[in-house]
Amino acid sequence: MSKNNTSTKSKKTPKFAFSNSGSSAISLYRLITIVVFLLFWEWVARSGLVNPLFLAPPSKVVDSIGFLNEQGLLVPNILATLKAAFAGFLIGLLVGSLFGFVIGLNPLLNKFCAPFITMMNSTPRIALAPLFVLWFGIGISSRIVLVFSLVVFIVLTNTIAGTENIDKDHLVLAKLNSAKRRDIIFKVALPSVVPWIIAAMRVSFAYALAGAVVGEMFLGQEGLGYLITAGSGVFNVSLIFAALGMTIAIAFIVDRLMGLLEKRILRWRA
């Protein structure tokens, strides 16, 4: 905040790169692409080329969103999905990074755990949804567990990878200064691992949201996933698209926010 060197930086960026100065142009092209895509979609859906039972035009999707809102179904369902997604995400983030950190810093424990982590990581967690419902009931807790099970391993494996990639030179420097174990953990290991945790965080939120929605599709009585199931039950495609659209919007906004957080926390990066 104190030093503003963005102007000097953009000067240095070569013309052929996607530089800061070109980013407004890119935004414009993006916008054009989206508009063209929506128009094309609208045209295809209305032209009669596709059975309207399978594809709803964007204008009808927007109508559906408005309808949901009038019925008081929009906000509560979005909130329900957000609640399950965020709860599972945050617990998974906390548990995954904590365990990953402890496991990664203990080479023996790491070696011992590696095959178990691989095994659990390769289990398709989504397929466990029915089991979770059996174990935790049809309330929100089974969906939180599902989201958690998706997020925790992404964060865990990334955090462990982070500890394995701590710069040896940094460790040697700490050792030469007779660093205490506590200092090695908090002044060398932790800052080295933070970028890995943040990367995992951004990747795993998409999974968290998908987990929440899929969980609602299975047995929930609320949420965007429930709207999708309800929509397909009555062949209401625009409802399905409306719920999907909301899901995408949430994913997009949250990713942007996390991008800002990342920039702030990792401001020491080039």
Partner 1 sequence: MQTEIEIRGLSHHFVSPGGKSVSTIEDISLNVAPGEFVAIVGPSGCGKSTILNIVSGLLAVSEGEISIGGKKVQGVSKELVYMPARDSLFPWRTCKKNVELPLELQGILTPAERGERAEMLLNAVGLNGFSDYFPSSLSHGMRQRVAVARTFSTSPRILLMDEPFSALDAQTKIVVQDLFLKIWEEEKQTVLLITHDVMEAVALADRVVVLSARPGKIKSIHNIDLDRPRSVRKLLFDEPKFQKYLHAIWEDLDVQE
Binding partner 1 (rule: CB under 8 A), the pick from 4, 5, 7, 24 is 5
End-to-end CA distance of the chain: 15
Axis-axis angle for helices 237-265, 74-105 (nearest 10):
40
Could you tell me the smallest distance in angstroms from the CB atom of residue 1 to partner 1? Answer: 11
Binding partner 1 (rule: CB under 8 A), the pick from 2, 6, 24, 122 is 2
Residues within window 11-70 making contact with partner 1, judged by CB under 8 A: none
* Angle CA 153–157–163, to nearest 5: 145
82: enclosing H helix or E strand:
helix 74-105
Q: For residues 33 and 66, what is the distance between their CA atoms, to the nearest angstrom? A: 25
Q: For residues 33 and 29, what is the distance between their CA atoms, to the nearest angstrom? A: 6
Tokens coding 69 = 């809102």
Our finding on whether 270 is near partner 1 (CB under 8 A) is yes
Our finding on whether 6 is near partner 1 (CB under 8 A) is no
Distances (CA, A) of 43 to 47, 49, 50, 160: 6, 9, 10, 49
Residues within window 239-268 making contact with partner 1, judged by CB under 8 A: 267-268
Our finding on whether 98 is near partner 1 (CB under 8 A) is no
Could you tell me the smallest distance in angstroms from the CB atom of residue 74 to partner 1? Answer: 42
Could you tell me the smallest distance in angstroms from the CB atom of residue 24 to partner 1? Answer: 25
Our finding on whether 191 is near partner 1 (CB under 8 A) is yes
Nearer to partner 1, 249 or 266 (CB): 266
Number of residues that bind partner 1 (CB under 8 A): 24
Residues within window 150-189 making contact with partner 1, judged by CB under 8 A: 167, 169-170, 172-180, 183, 187-188
Tell me the DSSP string of 152-169: HHHHHHHHHHHHHTS-HH
Give contact residues for partner 1 (rule: CB under 8 A). Answer: 2-3, 5, 167, 169-170, 172-180, 183, 187-188, 191, 194, 267-270
